[in-house]
Amino acid sequence: MNITIENEHQKNNGVVNTELNSYLLDAKNVPNHVAIIMDGNGRWAEKRNLPRIEGHKEGLNAAKEVVQTALEIGIQYLTLYVFSIDNWKRPYFEIRALMTMFQDFLLKNEDELVERGIKLLTIGRTADLPRSLQNQLMATCKKTEKNFKLILTLALSYGARLDILNAVREIAKKAQSREINLNDIDEKFFKAHLSTHFSPDPDFLIRTSGEMRLSNFLLWESSYTEFYFTNTFWPDFRREEFLEALATFAKRQRRFGQITAKKR
């Protein structure tokens, strides 16, 4: 596992232009699955003396730009940590405003998702969300279900520990009813019972805002994931820095416990 920590003093705007061209020419350098912890919306707003909801609004624009970039360079799977199960502890008015904003954003961009070939999926306890948002999510997922250019997964009211516990419970029930025996249970079998079963494990995980932890996100799936941490708040994380982050991935040697790097 490799970890890159980026700070303001290490940024080099020339990196994208000089290194990215050769990076993009070689498809093997593009990670198949990128996961992102989109952190720092509230702090971005507070730093500008704006209401926190303005940070969430700008964060949605950043997410759209990152999705477009992922599609352009050939990333197959993109998973965004939109709302954790712990985020319900935030002020009610902020949560309500965020849910309404997100629903409107989905509706506004639904046709574009269809046209661009993006398939929308969700993980997490979506039943916790407001009914109107649940309906919008189901409608958008239905409209995009035949798309395949980019699988965009939104983690909503998601917690990896709960996801693992749910998988354990489901497997235990099958064992108790003798549908399976203990020898059937291996990593592949367990993975099939996680909510993320439809996607490969992430190759590359990015976290913005300077925090350096997973925050209950894709814990099982990130065993061999490469990490990138940046001090940039999510609303400021746009195409250029996304490409800079991906350029660092291209330099990684992924060994998966072996002596020599595994070919991509």
Q: Is 257 annotated as a binding residue?
A: no
What total of structural domains would you count in the chain?
1
Tell me, what's the pLDDT at 258? 73
Q: Is 90 annotated as a binding residue?
A: yes
The helix-helix angle for 92-116 and 52-73 (nearest 10°) equals 20
Judged against a pLDDT cut of 70, whether residue 34 lies above it is answered with yes
pLDDT digit string (tens) for 57-79? 999 999 999 999 999 999 999 99
Q: Is 215 annotated as a binding residue?
A: yes
Percent with pLDDT over 70 in the chain:
87
Question: How much is the mean pLDDT over the chain?
Answer: 91
Q: Which of 25-29, 53-57, 69-73, 137-141 has the lowest mean pLDDT?
A: 25-29
CA distances from 94 to 29, 134, 224 (A): 39, 18, 35
Judged against a pLDDT cut of 80, whether residue 182 lies above it is answered with yes
Tell me, what's the pLDDT at 255? 72
pTM of the full structure: 0.90
Residues 84-101, mean pLDDT to the nearest whole number: 97
Strands 226-230 and 204-207: parallel
Give yes or no: 186 in active site. Answer: no
Q: Is 264 annotated as a binding residue?
A: no
Q: Is 213 annotated as a binding residue?
A: yes
Please report whether residue 51 resides in a domain: yes
More confident residue, 125 or 10: 125
Tell me, what's the pLDDT at 26? 67
Give yes or no: 163 in active site. Answer: no
Q: Is 83 helix (H, G, I), strand (E, B) or coil?
A: strand
Judged against a pLDDT cut of 50, whether residue 227 lies above it is answered with yes
The answer to whether 144 and 174 are in contact (CB under 8 A) is no
The pair of three-digit structure tokens given for residue 232, joined into one six-digit string: 């940039």
Supply the CATH number for residue 37's domain: 3.40.1180.10
* CA end-to-end distance (rounded Å), the chain: 15
Please report whether residue 8 resides in a domain: no
Please report whether residue 24 resides in a domain: no
Tell me, what's the pLDDT at 8? 44
Distance CA 50, CA 33 (A): 34
Point out the catalytic residue in the list 87, 147, 166, 216.
Answer: 87
Tell me, what's the pLDDT at 6? 62
Judged against a pLDDT cut of 60, whether residue 23 lies above it is answered with no
CA atoms within 13 A on the CB side of 144: 28
Judged against a pLDDT cut of 70, whether residue 24 lies above it is answered with no
Distance CA 151, CA 240 (A): 22
Residues 90-105, mean pLDDT to the nearest whole number: 97
Q: Which of 20-34, 144-158, 196-210 has the lowest mean pLDDT?
A: 20-34
Distance CA 103, CA 172 (A): 36
* Structural domain span for residue 164: 31-251
Tell me, what's the pLDDT at 189? 98
Please report whether residue 14 resides in a domain: no
DSSP state of 202: P
Judged against a pLDDT cut of 50, whether residue 16 lies above it is answered with no
Tell me, what's the pLDDT at 177? 95
Point out the catalytic residue in the list 39, 109, 163, 203.
Answer: 39
Tell me, what's the pLDDT at 29? 85
How many other β-carbons are positioned within 10 Å of the β-carbon of residue 91? 9
Please report whether residue 2 resides in a domain: no
Tell me, what's the pLDDT at 15? 45
